[in-house]
Amino acid sequence: MADERAEIGVFGGSGFYSLLENAREVWIETPYGAPSDRVALGEIAGRKVAFLPRHGKDHRFPPQTINYRANLWAMKELGVTRIIAPTACGSLKKEVEPGHMVVADQVVDRTTGRHDTFYDGPITTHVSFADPYCPQLRPVASTALRSIGVTTHDTGTIVVIQGPRFSTRAESKWFQDAGWEVINMTQYPECYLARELEICYVNISLITDYDVGLAGAQPVTHEDVLKVFASNNERVKQAIYKIVEAMPTERTCGCGSALSGAR
Ligand SMILES: [Zn+2]
């Protein structure tokens, strides 16, 4: 058990296995049921990293059926204190182009019925979530992305829809009119549950398409998304490597004490 520990967690697609050196897989039981898959433990740039494909290895869990609590709990069990979370996303703004990456700083929850807390009582716990993403890791991610030549947006708001359906034109226009940049189906409650466990969390949104409400945009298909994601997979892997490599060992943010004052 002793070496079944990791410092950094990555949620992502199955393309990331090849990043891990000396990898082996462990099955983690959680009080919330089974995580999406076994967790792969290995090293990147000399740091201990745990990798979990959030949709399962064979992509059997669509966004609305992912057991987010079990996935986060598994990371916590392994000792993870920082999570890097790449996601495939749609753009709600013309200047946020397919192939760009956004290091999100805000999130809007439009999901429904998902288990989004570890604190169902008896102790009432209200966790501050004004700033959902780790302020220490966001600039680290931006710098890493630029260093490999990715057009990077340092801020952006992600609206998270329930799925599995895509938005109507009216819904998409509404989100666009609100001034938000990115649309996705998995960021919530993943990002919030990390905060409840006092884990730092940083998102990298890989833009795969323009959402349907943008003037002139064709309705997005799952095939389009997969195509852009596949062609960018190598860049996302490079980005993860760079972020891990550059991640300061000491935490200077407040994420690690998110529960103090919450009760
Ligand atoms: Zn943090």
Domain positions in the chain are 8-257
Radius of gyration over every alpha carbon of the chain, rounded to an integer in angstroms: 17
| Averaged pLDDT score across all residues of the chain | 93
What does DSSP assign to residue 99?
A: T
Give yes or no for residue 214 having a pLDDT over 80: no
Ligand 1: distance of its center to the CA of 222 in Å? 33
Ligand 1: distance of its center to the CA of 240 in Å? 17
pLDDT band of residue 18 (cuts 50, 70, 90) is confident
pLDDT band of residue 227 (cuts 50, 70, 90) is confident
Q: What is the mean pLDDT of residues 204-208?
A: 94
Q: Which residue has the higher pLDDT, 59 or 142?
A: 142
Domain 8-257 annotated CATH 3.40.50.300: no
pLDDT band of residue 215 (cuts 50, 70, 90) is low
**DSSP letters along 135-200, please?**
TTHHHHHHHHHHHTT--EES--EEEEE--SSPPPHHHHHHHHHTT--EEESSHHHHHHHHHHTT-E
Percent of the chain with pLDDT over 70: 97
What does DSSP assign to residue 113?
A: S
Report how many helices (DSSP H) and strands (DSSP E) the chain contains, helices first.
5, 11
**Known active-site residue 109:** no
What does DSSP assign to residue 254?
A: S
231: Cα separation from own chain's centroid: 19
Q: What is the mean pLDDT of residues 34-44?
A: 96
pTM passes above 0.85: yes
Ligand 1: distance of its center to the CA of 258 in Å? 10
C-alpha span between 65 and 73 (Å, rounded) = 16
- Beta strands 200-210 and 101-102 are antiparallel
In terms of Cα–Cα distance, which of 202, 196, 54, 34 is closest to 117?
196
pLDDT at 43: 96
Q: What is the mean pLDDT of residues 75-94?
A: 96
pLDDT at 1: 47
Which amino acid would we find at residue 213?
Answer: G
pLDDT at 3: 67
Residue from 37, 105, 109, 209 carrying the catalytic annotation? 209
Token digits of residue 66: 């992912």
C-alpha span between 244 and 118 (Å, rounded) = 27
C-alpha span between 246 and 28 (Å, rounded) = 28
Q: What is the pLDDT of residues 96-142, one digit of tens each?
A: 999 999 999 999 999 999 999 999 989 889 999 999 999 999 999 99
How far is it between the farthest Cα atoms of the chain?
A: 55
C-alpha span between 262 and 240 (Å, rounded) = 32
Give yes or no for residue 263 having a pLDDT over 70: yes
Residue from 37, 105, 109, 211 carrying the catalytic annotation? 211
Ligand 1: distance of its center to the CA of 46 in Å? 21
**Known active-site residue 105:** no
Ligand 1: distance of its center to the CA of 239 in Å? 19
Q: Which residue has the higher pLDDT, 169 or 230?
A: 169
Give the helix/strand (H/E) hosting 44: strand 39-44
Ligand 1: distance of its center to the CA of 219 in Å? 36
